[in-house]
Amino acid sequence: MRPLLAPLLAALLAVAAGAWQGWPPALGDAAAVLAFAGALAAVATTMLGFILAALAVVASVAHTPLMQRMRQTGHYGDLLHTMFYAGAAFLAIDVGAFALLFGAAASHGVMLLMLGLHAAALVLLVDTGRKFRLVLVNL
């Protein structure tokens, strides 16, 4: 559960700060909600694609001596868990964005939830990138 501590804290801090500052601004008309949801869906889908591509790269080098050592030390599982959590967070953002696109109400709570998911997903993305960089440098 350790890989989830920082993203959960980031999500809680983002939601608390957003609620304290009165975020999000009112999305007054349907066009604003659709534009916002489209941007959310585009970003989340792109990041999910990058996570899946990184998983494919990790799978293609799975039989190298580095990956065998990573399996023995537990680092391989940690990398995979972080990548899967990041993918799941971006997928959740996608689901929320598509729900908004198809008519779900853009209430204050829904928008704060999307903000928290984004904060968690970005922390997971940074952690995934850091771990993936270490793997590529040491191949």
- pLDDT score of 20: 84
Residue boundaries of the structural domains of the chain: 2-22+32-138
* Digit-coded pLDDT (tens) for 17-70: 888 877 776 667 778 888 888 888 999 999 999 999 988 988 888 888 888 888
Over the chain, what is the mean pLDDT?
86
pLDDT at 2 exceeding the cut of 70: no
Q: What is the pLDDT of residues 89-134, one digit of tens each?
A: 999 999 999 998 898 888 878 888 888 898 999 999 999 999 888 8
- The pLDDT value given to residue 3: 63
Q: Does 14 score more than 80 pLDDT?
A: yes
Instruction: Supply the pLDDT for residue 25.
Output: 66
Rounded Cα–Cα distance for residues 97 and 72 (Å): 39
